A and B are shown apart, each in its own frame.
Chain A
């Protein structure tokens, strides 16, 4: 066993912590930093519930060690809505389109859709791309249609002509 000093920026705030080598990033966020918005589902990289952004790219935080996040920027679901509680357009659309029921998978879904939104810029996004992006997030409630509708409502559309 080894322990390591890490400096990591989470949701814009710098943290310095000492972590055990075997602590994974999801447990670090939840237990050491109290950021329980990141959910843990399968803990072996299949369900996508623990998806966070590491240097702007989605990662499964159960497959990454906390020590590997040292020197990096991590963003979790806690950073997405405005401080006054106003939902991000993606979150608002998920709510409006019934893109969630129990909400367990939702933090991961939101992080995935944020990456899709950032990467597509102003380029139109179709249903196939949305479904492909969401393929890494399992949901046992919605059947995904509401999530797809929500994403398509927010992301740039192909001009209809």
Chain B
């Protein structure tokens, strides 16, 4: 239960970190360490070099931009959950963080670390999926932007290149030009609160003056290797007036989606949870639009 030997690096700037990434073999980036450190203690991961981003202040920030909320990859989950700006501009993140780990892990765990680790049960990737978040990644050769759908390549696998580091996440405008008419909710089921979720659902709903749904985004975690958008559900919601029958119909669609299961939580169980949680998240999101 001790990590194997490695060389530790603590760059003070992003450029220094990118130089290290470009020159070192078998290097891993250490963010908050709440997923990588357990894997290193188990020796599932045995890096030759560990590049700790924890001493690079420029990677930890929360800012409001004309395009929406932007969060630095090394911002801790705890500081995001306490940010008044996030609460105002992207309350879905706050709702999701309520379910993330424990305070001891949120104090150190970062948003970028969680999104790069891509645990299929993790809440922050589901949130990024629902909001069409865009990742800014950097290497010595420059920067590029990757939409979440392309960033999440597979089980525990991002599309980061070998020398690239995630530096910031854009969560985008809060649905169009009328944020005051949008509402969101995050619902999940775990055996114990704060445990890993079996299935989680994030929903964002925007409605026009006539109470008709103008935009809907619904994402689910725990039914595939990566978080997925429930596009069929979204299409059923758009241009409709929300009512009990619509939400039940939509939930039935969610429950009919193909799911990947395991011995503890087989596919049928996950499908059933997806249906219930979709219903719950939509009800709450719609209620919040009207509030």
Contacts and interface: CB of A to CB of B under 8 A. Distances in A.
Contacts of B280: none
A63 B34 contact: yes
B194 A43 contact: no
B42 A63 contact: no
Interface string B79-120: 000000000000000000000011111011000000000000
Contact of B104 (A4, A67, A136): A136
Contact of A67 (B1, B4, B10, B193): B10
26 contacts: A1-B5, A2-B7, A2-B8, A21-B5, A21-B50, A22-B2, A22-B6, A24-B41, A43-B1, A44-B1, A44-B37, A44-B38, A44-B42, A48-B102, A57-B108, A58-B103, A59-B104, A59-B107, A62-B37, A63-B33, A65-B37, A68-B52, A112-B104, A132-B193, A133-B103, A136-B105
Contacts of B107: 54, 57-59
Given A45-B37, A136-B105, 10 more contacts: A2-B8, A21-B7, A24-B3, A59-B104, A60-B34, A63-B105, A64-B33, A67-B8, A68-B33, A68-B52
Interface residues of B, number: 29
Consensus secondary structure, chain A interface: mixed
B78 interface: yes
Interface of B: 1-8, 10, 33-34, 37-38, 41-42, 50, 52, 54, 78, 101-105, 107-108, 192-194
Nearest to B98: A132
Contacts of B1: 43-44
Given A43-B1, A68-B52, A132-B193, A115 B6 contact: no
Contacts of B34: 45, 60, 63
B194 A136 contact: yes
Contacts of A38: none
A45 B5 contact: no
B245 to A, nearest CB: 34
A46 to B, nearest CB: 8
A158 B4 CA distance: 49
A4 B105 contact: no
Contacts of A62: 37, 41
A64 B6 CA distance: 15
Contacts, number: 91
A22 B104 contact: no
Given A1-B6, A44-B1, A135 B41 contact: no
B105 A135 contact: no
A51 interface: yes
A20 B6 CA distance: 9
Contact of B5 (A22, A57, A132, A133): A22
B12 to A, nearest CB: 12
B8 A65 contact: yes
A136 B103 contact: yes
Nearest to B192: A135
Nearest to A134: B102
B37 A63 contact: yes
Report the 8 A-B pairs with minimum CB-CB distance, sorted nearest first: A136-B102, A21-B8, A43-B1, A44-B38, A1-B5, A63-B37, A135-B194, A57-B107
Given A44-B41, A45-B38, A67-B8, A135 B108 contact: no
A116 B78 CA distance: 14
B6 to A, nearest CB: 6
Interface in A70-90: none
Nearest to B33: A63
B7 A135 contact: no
Contact of B2 (A24, A57, A63): A24
Contacts of B3: 22, 24
A136 B4 CA distance: 26
